[in-house]
A and B are shown apart, each in its own frame.
Chain A
Amino acid sequence: MSDAVTVNPCKVCAPLGACVAFRGVAGCIPLIHGSQGCATYIRRYTISHFREPMDIASSSFVESSTVFGGSALFSTGLDNLIRQYKPAAIGVCTSCLSETIGDDVGLFLREYEASHKEAPLPALIRASTPSYKGTHMEGFHAAVRGILAGIVKEPDATIANQVNLLPGFVSPADLRYFKDLLADFRLDGILVPDYSETLDGPSWDEYHRLPEGGTPVERIASCANSVATVQLGRSVRDGGGDWLEETFGTPCHRLGLPVGLRESDALCDALSVLSGRPLPERHALERGRLLDSYVDGHKYLFGKRAVVYGEEDLVVGIASLLNEIGINPVLCASGGMSEAFKEQVLDVTRDAQRLFPGEMEVLAGTDYDTIFARAEELKPDIIIGNSKGYKMARKLDVPLVRVGFPIHDRIGGQRQLHVGYRGTQNLFDLICNALMQAKQDNSPIGFMYV
């Protein structure tokens, strides 16, 4: 709303992103070094989307630890966590409180390791995630970097066909797709993180303290032996791939989130080069069907006006898709403060800018209050983003296509597929059908054929 106050934030805080990422390491339990509420709010928020258990421990700060430092509580917290969960890894992230009082979690962890030499400890990984710096996305990427920095070992020999994939904050369905895609290219992929099962698991016979799934610590340890890293997300700065490249010289391919044909092509081309194989047949068919549907649907789409919001990389991906299908992304907005966001959106929407000159707005570091206000003037035909846009869509009486995170007013947010040819097909059908339904519903005649 103004530089002094944010109304309806279009972001959540950094520890949330870190906790989601930590869930993608096998047997890992996150611990937030801060007040009890941080863990509880983040659990509640992520459960509303994933509909899965999301245990997050807290060092449960009290007044005395704020004055004298949280070292003692931290050590007790680790003891209790190890006793109750027997985790393979503990992912520690900080909070605005522990960062501000200057707790050195790195030191705490070293001290803990030094005083527990007799028993094998879980892998202890950490991320610095003060919530006054960046959004949940910065927290996510800090955790990815922290996972790698805490686990990866010096390379011994490059393993042909082994590739690291750093997918960014995507859905469990997206992660499963990436695994299929890598396997179809005959690549041995290491996903960091991989919460495809831990945050979208099957029904259980018995309660599991830690859900199954996730990339095992031993696999992550071998990341420096990979031929390359593929790091997705144009907004990522100082990502895990950058760290691997700087530290061990593992080449890093920096690509956009593969939403839309062009961005998916870029990923498949990179995998093709890394594997020395052409696009596998079934993916070539998916690509072909996607193109075929672009043609089938184009008359429902041209010139329609869309408002898109959410995490920077997802918005850039969706904008790229809209640009390909003739929809005018009149507003692309994010609560993220990435400096390059505007440039990246403009880069993937050149056709739209040519066809609909002077109409596109890009807002970084914004809130929903501002997005609502702009949308009211821009009069979109469709809104694409997470559940937080529901009130705006309701007020403007236009369809909302739910993508990204959080989706807490529908079932299946964790199964929403966004990436690759298959994910693009899914989004294309959703967008096209939403507009077709709006057209049908708004027609006084109500034809059965549209």
Chain B
Amino acid sequence: MSTAVLEKRRAQVATVQDGKASIACAKPSLSGSVSQRACVFCGSRVVLYPIVDAVHLVHGPAGCAAYTWDIRGTVSSGPELHRLSFTTDLRERDVIFGGAEKLERGLRSLIARFNPKAAFVYATCIVGVIGDDVDSVCNKVAAETGIPVLPVRSEGFRGSKKDGYAAACDALARLIGTLEPAGPVPPFSINILGDFNLAGELWILEEYYRRMGVNILTRITGDGRVDDIRRAHHAKLNVVQCSGSMTTLAHHMKETYGVPFKQVSYFGLEDMSAALYDVAAFFGDPVLHEKAAQLVRDEVTRLLPLIESYRARLAGRKAVIYVGGAFKTISLIKALRLIGIETVVAGSQTGRPEDYDTIASLCNPGTIIVDDSNPVELSTFARERGADLFIGGVKERPIAFKMGMAFCDHNHERKLPLAGYEGMLNFAEEVYASLMTPVWRFVRNTRKRGGT
């Protein structure tokens, strides 16, 4: 890895020994290192994006809004306001004289036309510099229109994507607790935090919980509705996936409303089953537990022979995992192991020390762990470790493809559900198809394998 890793990044790369790896993380990206990370705005935008009955107005020049127009694979069971791209499209004149007045007019016209349940106003880099008073514009328009208008402090330079998650959680926290339920809330009511309903995944999970006898009060934010979010404080438990983005909100709700939370993941058979058992255990109800056990038995019995047949055909393959959140890396390591694939490089854009400890404990000696990586490092590590498969997002895809490696998209743009039991099967099918296509015969003719 000598020339591939810049000196100032060395501490963010480690090799697993005895289930441990010491790694630095949670640092700003190194200038000039071609980080795969995005910015604060991106973090806020991805979290709030799936709220389908709100206007999401990006206050800034048009680029930030244009790049995020209809970008996610998140789906709605009703309104589709989230699939439109709204921006104040600031011009030179606005930069000189200020954009607050334009923002105010823009908000009014959008609210009048689309009649949303709320509006989120995302401050982009330039807004933080020209000093528009976004808060007072939001307050004023909220008072006039009677809907919540929430500023999101997402100036790109204010930190990393994680700070954007926090800004989004802050906006959500302001919504929560502002509406009371119409009737009594069923006893086994939970909120799902951190599932974004990509390809309808949340609906799959919802069906499992329904079969168990658990009621979903609020979805935050997949297929999200403003009024549901406002009532979310009446849930008995927050079930939190995507810990990186949602932990702030879960802590807030625990402190403010006494709603406890549990961290889960829905990827892979182990984690999916644990998520259901954890919820049943929380409520301590034997019927709930029995139904969860029955569901897990049914699903696992149905899936295992299929998974087994994939494992027989995929055993011995090696994978690189590089995704945004470390919770996903952890689940993917387990899910890949289930189908016989060893993870030889594992990383994330925004992992925490405890996440990397978990990752190291799951991986074989020699596995490379990396935080906030870049194309040069990832391509070098992949080759050094002789990987066949890369799990990542759109920006990682060409790295894999140019190297003749199979690739699976596990990011927010995908259109295939990978969560839950059927998601695991989809994942296995996709991995299988990606590895077995005959096209690799032609492109790997002269490729050297295994770091030679």
Contact = CB atoms under 8 A, between A and B. Distances in A.
Contact of A132 (B37, B95, B156): B95
Contacts of B32: 31, 57-60, 76-81, 84
A56 interface: yes
A194 interface: no
Contacts of B113: 1
Contacts of A426: none
Contact of A205 (B109, B124, B447): B447
Contacts of A132: 61, 90-92, 94-95, 126
Given A35-B156, A59-B32, A207 B379 contact: yes
Given A12-B66, A85-B376, A36 B37 contact: yes
Interface string B62-96: 11111111000000000000001111111110110
A37 B28 CA distance: 13
A204 B103 CA distance: 48
B109 A2 contact: yes
A219 to B, nearest CB: 26
B159 interface: yes
B40 A37 contact: yes
Interface string B25-43: 0001111111111111110
Report the contact-size class of chain A (Cβ under 8 Å from the partner).
35 or more
B391 to A, nearest CB: 17
A209 B398 CA distance: 12
B257 to A, nearest CB: 32
Interface string A299-322: 000000000000000000000000
Contacts of A356: none
B398 A57 contact: no
Nearest to B402: A204
Contact of A44 (B88, B374, B394): B394
Given A57-B32, A78-B32, A132-B94, A83 B125 contact: no
A135 B89 CA distance: 11
B164 to A, nearest CB: 9
A209 B376 CA distance: 6
A52 B156 contact: no
Q: Which of B395, B402, B447 has the most CB of A within 10 A?
A: B402
A108 interface: no
A295 interface: no
B85 A16 contact: no
B130 A100 contact: yes
B386 interface: no
Interface in B387-414: 394-395, 397-399, 401-404
B420 interface: no
B157 A62 contact: yes
Interface stretch (A3-11, A222-230, A440-448): A3-11
Contact of B62 (A13, A53, A201): A13
A109 interface: no
B98 interface: no
B65 A9 contact: yes
Given A34-B125, A58-B31, A62-B28, A12 B383 contact: no
B447 A4 contact: no
B443 interface: yes
A120 to B, nearest CB: 18
B66 A11 contact: yes
Given A65-B157, A97-B126, A5 B87 contact: yes
Contacts of A55: 34, 375
A402 interface: no
Contacts of A78: 32
A9 B383 CA distance: 40
Chain B interface size, under 10 / 10 to 19 / 20 to 34 / 35 or more: 35 or more
A7 B34 CA distance: 31
Interface in A28-71: 31, 34-45, 47-48, 51-63, 65-66
A131 interface: yes
Given A36-B156, A132-B94, A80 B62 contact: no
Contacts of A41: 38, 42, 63-64, 67-68
B260 interface: no
B63 A80 contact: no
Nearest to A16: B63
A66 B36 contact: no
A9 B39 contact: no
A246 B23 CA distance: 55
Contacts of B404: 203-205
Contacts of B398: 47, 51-54
A9 B62 contact: yes
A74 interface: yes
B56 to A, nearest CB: 11
B395 to A, nearest CB: 6
A7 B85 contact: yes
A4 B394 CA distance: 33
A346 interface: no
Contacts of B33: 57, 60, 80, 84
Contact of B376 (A14, A84, A335): A84
Given A8-B85, A11-B66, A100 B31 contact: no
Contacts of B158: 63
Given A40-B37, A41-B63, A131-B62, A7 B86 contact: yes
Interface string B366-377: 000000001110
A131 B91 CA distance: 8
A292 interface: no
Most A CB within 10 A of own CB, among B8, B38, B106, B156: B156
Q: Which 9 A-B pairs have the closest CB atoms?
A: A37-B39, A13-B63, A35-B156, A77-B32, A80-B32, A5-B106, A4-B105, A77-B31, A207-B379
30 contacts: A2-B109, A4-B106, A6-B88, A12-B63, A16-B63, A35-B40, A35-B156, A36-B29, A36-B35, A36-B39, A36-B156, A37-B42, A37-B64, A40-B35, A40-B42, A41-B68, A43-B395, A47-B398, A53-B375, A60-B33, A65-B157, A76-B30, A76-B31, A77-B32, A80-B8, A80-B31, A80-B33, A96-B90, A203-B442, A206-B383
Interface of A: 1-9, 11-16, 31, 34-45, 47-48, 51-63, 65-66, 73-74, 76-81, 83-85, 95-97, 100-101, 130-133, 135, 201, 203-209, 335, 369, 388
Given A37-B41, A37-B42, 11 more contacts: A4-B105, A7-B85, A36-B156, A51-B397, A59-B32, A65-B157, A66-B157, A80-B30, A80-B31, A96-B125, A207-B383
